[in-house]
Structure 1
Amino acid sequence: MLASSRSALASARQCRQMSHASNKLSGQVAVLTGSTDGIGLAIAKRMGQEGARVVVSSRRSHNVERAVQEMHDLGLKDVLGVQCNVGKPEDRHNLIDQAVCKWGGVDILVTNAAVNPATGWLLDCSESVWDKLFDINVKSTWALTKLVAPHMQKKKKGSIIYVSSVAGFGGIVPNAAMSGYIVSKTCLLSMSKMVAQQLASDNVRVNCLLPGLFKTRFGEVLHADNEISKFMLPTIPMRRFGEPDEIAGMAAFLASDDASYITGENFAVAGGMQTRL
């Protein structure tokens, strides 16, 4: 029974990966942070398959090179790789400047870069860890939005997608491993709504994705530990962890004209986990 279920999931995943031919993002330039692995890379690949010209980025150059090669291996040629530590202002400027220099602008921004530098309860968090959480998970998203917004406002069109976490809605029971991370990710829920209101008159849309528990390297603290996994799985009505490509379709939808009247919203992709404050 278990083998049959795994086979069905593998077959469904293969079908998802083979069915992206609508070109709904044709000609658009998509810039993604934290996009050389896991959810970020899955979104980058999907947007490339939908016709976008894609800029992938992360802190380490070898990860950028590997991600670009993976996309080339899929037949996606309009891909630019940029090394970018989103915590550094000069790197953020360079990321956007390179996209504009190569392709003339930025139509889509996906902010996926995030850190969880230390475990521990919230009041045990050091000031340096607290500063890093907010510098990378919150401030960099605000700063990158400020950089791309003028390009989108000039064209009177654009889509900005923040990647938060279903934990921000209370969908994951707060624990010592994630408490500071959860607080920082919750900030993105309100940021998307505030920025959406400011940019709506220029037809620039801002939405927020809230992934649940996905099988990624970043999420290993939850899915790779058998004891934690046994505790978390019953909180997911679908009784399994998500695969990165299962959130990529939602990101592509929000970036496309199919979502032209959607802004300021938070979307959970979490296998049915509860999403309430």
Structure 2
Amino acid sequence: MDVGKLLLVATPIGNLGDITLRALEALREADVVAAEDTRRTVKLLNHYAIKNKLVSFHEYSREARFEEILGLLAVGKKVALVSDAGTPVISDPGYELVRRCIEKGIEVESIPGACAAVTAVTLSGMDCSRFLFWGFLSPKQAARRRELEEIQEKGIPCVVYESPNRILKLLADVCDICGAETRVCVCRELTKLHEESLRMTAGEARAELGGREAIKGEFVVVIDPQPAETEKLSEQRIAQEVEKRLQSGMTKKSAAAEVAKEYGLPKNRVYGIALGSGKRE
């Protein structure tokens, strides 16, 4: 018996008209559609009068669901994997299913289409000949700020996803870590009726959204962390600046934080240099 095929089908990120002809063909031919959120996917299938078996497959899926899908593929069935919106396996749990299929010699085919990250990049007006995709940053502030320090050090545009509940916290951290003058493109409700893109500094975007009565919709943010000229400061100069603050009674942690903020430097770099300065902890 022939082995089946796993189809990775990109679906619209908002506007149902953005689905491709190949995606529709794949969904109609599939024996089963495995969806991250069946409630959203059934609306798409109903819109195009597609009737086939729909099962849930998400980050909380148990081993039994993996075995069920792999079992269907093993007996020659076609399974279409779709995410909430956009291209599956990008910031969703589908990669584990793909990995298992590859290990078992099951064919995997990608049906390309909409992707929120790429859509935001094209709208940003930034030089994204090279860019970094980060997905969702940590919901915990300390971890999120460390991630932003990494992004700042890369010095190339970075795409992140964020919820309406945390967008102001994200922009506040971008202002603090990367600088309030950092260019951003904050995209909301991409391809939908109330789509908007705020192309401005992080500080301006924070003020704009913070002044609204309510913040709704899913966000894609492109951050352009331009390395400051001050990052060219030698380690000796940085150590001197830290030492001056240590002499005034500051701790190494506080001294490093102040120098990093004043000169627009990554905190972890300054703190690493601070560890070799003076004795005060």
Determine if the TM-score, normalized by the shorter chain, exceeds 0.5: no
TM-score by length of 2: 0.32
Bigger radius of gyration:
2
TM-score by length of 1: 0.33
Larger RCO: Structure 1 or Structure 2 (Cα < 8 Å, ≥ 6 residues apart)?
A: 1
Flag the structure with higher helix content.
1
